[in-house]
């Protein structure tokens, strides 16, 4: 079962993450100033995660692959992935997000780091 959690980071910004089997984190959002903005972005992410064009695939200066997840309506970046060892690892994670985000449960608690 996939699960979304919202937490407050060390800088006081709200972020959400997507976990698989409540263990493996496969996505962490950018920080948002309010809980409401974070929740709205989470809903956009959840609804848009099945859309391949929301994942902008990129290559860092060091040659490693990563992606930006963008709101397909506003083009606002919701999250930036880690750097992957190669493109196939990145594509595997994108596939996991596409399969799990839409049906993931949203934890109603807000956690602090």
Nearest of 39, 31, 36, 56 to residue 4 by alpha carbon? 39
pLDDT in tens, 13-31: 999 999 998 689 999 999 9
- Domains of the chain with CATH codes: 2-112 (2.30.29.80)
Give the position of tokens 């959400």. 16
What's the average model confidence in pLDDT over 41-63?
97
Q: What is the pLDDT of residues 84-104, one digit of tens each?
A: 999 999 999 999 999 999 999
**What does pTM read for this prediction?**
0.92
For residue 113 the two structure tokens come to: 């780091």
Give the pLDDT score at 21: 87
Q: Are 48 and 39 in contact, with CB atoms under 8 Å apart?
A: no
Neighbouring CB atoms inside 10 A of 108's CB total: 7
28 beta partners? 17
What's the token pair of residue 59? 């290559």
The model's pLDDT over 57-83, given as tens digits with 9 standing for 90+, comes to: 999 999 999 999 999 999 999 999 999
């Amino acid at each position: 079962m996939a699960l979304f959690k919202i937490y407050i980071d060390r800088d006081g910004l709200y972020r959400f993450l997507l976990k698989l089997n409540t263990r493996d984190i496969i996505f962490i959002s950018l920080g948002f100033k309010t809980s409401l903005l974070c929740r709205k972005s989470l809903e956009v992410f959840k609804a848009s995660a099945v859309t391949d064009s929301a994942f902008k695939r990129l290559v860092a200066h060091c040659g490693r692959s990563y992606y930006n997840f963008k709101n397909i309506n506003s083009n606002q970046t919701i999250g930036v992935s880690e750097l992957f060892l190669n493109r196939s690892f990145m594509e595997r994670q994108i596939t996991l997000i596409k399969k799990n985000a839409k049906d993931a449960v949203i934890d109603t608690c807000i956690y602090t780091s």
